[in-house]
A and B are shown apart, each in its own frame.
Chain A
Amino acid sequence: MAKLVVENVTKKYGPALTLEKISFTAEEGQITVLLSPPNGGKTGICKIVAGLDEVDSGKVYLGDRDITDLEPKERRVSMMFQKLALYPNMNVFENIASPLKALHLPPSEVINQVEAIANKMKISHTLYRKPGTLSGGERQRVALSRALVKNNADLYILDEPLTNLDAKIRASMRAEFKILQKEINQTMLYATPDPIEALALADKLIVLDKGKIIQQGTPEYIYRNPINKFVATFVGYYPINLIEGSIIEKGEKIILQTNLFEIEISKLRDSVKDHINSKVTLGLRPELLNVVKKEPKVQESLDLFYIKGEVFEFEIRGSDTVVYVKINDQIIRVLESKITKYDIGIKVWLQFNLKDIYLFDAESGLLIR
């Protein structure tokens, strides 16, 4: 177990992708999650840390060792691949035993270690079958076993380990994975394109886009304080609602004016004072909005806003309801964590709290508050 430090790593992967000055630290015994849309640079970083790709410039340290120019086998890292990369000509036992055989361990020890990990991962019954005959979930476990069996590794890299599974198995594997990580207590670098997976697993979250680190921090912090529109849209259970508008001053009051509604935001004066008379984007998280069916009494508290609209559509997703509220011509998503049925087209009021709104600079996309 050791700390991973990536320092100013730059690498050109052809015209479509360049990693630019990537710097981050993965703390000892924690899961550090790399989150990005496809082709954002996750796999590139994983391969550079593993030693499969060379850097153009920059340094990689593992513990107190500079591993930038070391061969993969000298780095003491283990990796699980997105495509699993099981050896199709070998059975499950031989697949898992491969890293141990490369260490020239005595056969009895190889057998013991493989059987131990196979028991833990519940794949003992598959040991003498070829990977081609296994189910998707079983293959995933075999690949994970092969990555974890190498117990001299200082760092475990998991490149989209759950991506190829169907949704149901993915959810259960995710939970199991979290328990497993607590158990083995190792430093892990985990890449995923799925924000829900990232939020659920990460001790530290690194959000990437087009080869650049956009934001890093704890998942809670990033969720509450997205640095820009991209992070706000990408990191969350449902995409954030974005409404274009501008901030204007009317006498003493500061008003947020959009083509859907106007609200007074004088209480945010300190945060927005530099943006008066400029264009902004309002962000409203679906899970922080409510739908009210009866006309509310006029502003019980100054911090609550009610916007009139009509129900355009709704979806019941198990125990949640996603309501699509139409205001003028824009559709706003609302997530209610209960089952509610609506008549399509009825008048409703969208309710939200002043403290829950995000404001982004319309041009740069950066968070204002």
Chain B
Amino acid sequence: MKTSAFIKFILVTLITLILIAYFDLPIIVMIVTAFKQRADIFTPVPKWIFTPTIKNFVDIFVGTTTMAEGTLAIQNSLFFVTTSTVIAMFIGSLAAYGFSRFKFFGREDLIFFVLAQRFMPGIVIVLPMFVLYSSVGLRGTALGLILLYINSALPFVIWMMRSFFDEIPREIDEAARLDGHSWFTIFIKFVLPVARNGFLATFLFSFIFTWGEFLFALILTTPESWTMPIAIVNSRVSSEILWGQIAAYGVISIIPVFIIAIALQKYLVRGMTLGAVK
């Protein structure tokens, strides 16, 4: 290897390592902390060598020491987020298909209006939502949070899916129409499978956004309907904040996202292949 190539190799490796450290160090610290005993967490100089323990995880699930009940929070999060994402994907994809394929008066204005909902910070509507939910009895209910999460995921789903549908040649729909299929069959059997990669990518992003949602969950839930992010905040007793448990919650809460991301990775990377149509 030439000297210049060697220096380049060293530099690239170094920069890569720095970038990895920059992005992943907080996660590494979190994972390490989750397995530390209380005394090891609070040492003035961070300890990298220690006796690991699973006490923090046990505490979460047994839930004797804090206000938060770990098992319930995980169940709530999984149920709310999965249900709302699946429903939002179904409704949003149908809407996106309509926006992509049918010309109607005010179409572009309407789709801009849909996206514009994402421009507004959540804090603007959180108070009205609190009043509204309290008055109709939706606060603290599963239905209430699922409805809210569907609503907040829809603009993203519609916008993303529309751009994926736009890339699919109209001739596919037209050919299927001439074959004699109904619009719904065309959507389910002919168009959606071609947009599969885009669909899965949208599902993943939508899932991650909702999984980490904090503000509305904080205001609109009661202890029975706390989600993971809210359980983390409540991992404290009157005298102290339980950093070990918080870290353990963090580790658990990234697991589902991590699994989904690994499973769908090839679809995210591969992009759309429409070679057969050209």
Contact = CB atoms under 8 A, between A and B. Distances in A.
Bound pair: A and B?
yes
B175 A81 contact: yes
B169 A85 contact: yes
A77 B179 CA distance: 9
Given A83-B171, A87-B172, A73 B177 contact: yes
Interface in A3-61: 47, 50-52
B193 A132 contact: no
Interface stretch (A95-103, A112-120, A201-209, A276-284): A95-103
A130 B278 CA distance: 13
Contact of B277 (A77, A85, A101): A85
Given A87-B190, A89-B193, A89-B194, A132 B178 contact: no
Contact of A52 (B174, B181, B277): B174
A88 B176 contact: no
Contact of A86 (B174, B178, B181, B277): B277
A101 B180 CA distance: 9
Contacts of A86: 276-277
A79 interface: yes
A147 to B, nearest CB: 9
Contacts of B181: 73, 98, 102
B178 A79 contact: yes
B51 interface: no
Contacts of B193: 89
Contacts of A325: none
B253 to A, nearest CB: 35
B274 interface: yes
Contact of A85 (B175, B196, B273): B175
Nearest to A97: B179
Contacts of B176: 87, 98
A81 B174 contact: yes
Given A86-B276, A88-B277, A81 B171 contact: yes
B128 to A, nearest CB: 43
Interface string B236-278: 0000000000000000000000000000000000000111111
Contacts of A72: 174, 177-178, 180
Contacts of B178: 50-52, 72-73, 77-79, 99
A164 to B, nearest CB: 8
Interface residues of B, number: 21
B179 A98 contact: yes
Contacts of A73: 177-181
B180 A85 contact: no
A211 interface: no
A236 interface: no
Given A88-B194, A89-B193, A132 B275 contact: yes
A131 interface: yes
A78 B181 CA distance: 13
A72 B275 CA distance: 27
A83 B275 CA distance: 11
Contacts of B196: 89
A77 B180 CA distance: 10
Contacts of A359: none
A86 B172 CA distance: 7
A84 interface: yes
Interface string B155-184: 000000000000001011011111111000
Contacts of B175: 79, 81, 85, 87, 98, 146
Contacts of A71: 177
A338 to B, nearest CB: 41
A70 to B, nearest CB: 12
Contacts of A102: 179-181
B201 to A, nearest CB: 17
Interface string B23-52: 000000000000000000000000000000
Interface in A183-235: none
Interface string A300-331: 00000000000000000000000000000000
Contacts of A50: 174, 178
10 closest A-B pairs (Cβ-Cβ)?
A102-B180, A88-B276, A85-B171, A131-B276, A73-B180, A89-B193, A132-B276, A85-B175, A99-B179, A132-B275
Interface of A: 47, 50-52, 71-73, 77-79, 81-89, 98-99, 101-103, 130-132, 139, 146, 150
Given A47-B174, A99-B179, A130-B276, 7 more contacts: A52-B177, A79-B175, A83-B278, A87-B172, A89-B194, A98-B181, A132-B273
18 contacts: A50-B174, A52-B174, A71-B177, A72-B178, A73-B177, A73-B181, A81-B171, A82-B171, A84-B277, A88-B276, A88-B277, A89-B194, A98-B176, A99-B179, A102-B179, A130-B276, A131-B276, A150-B179
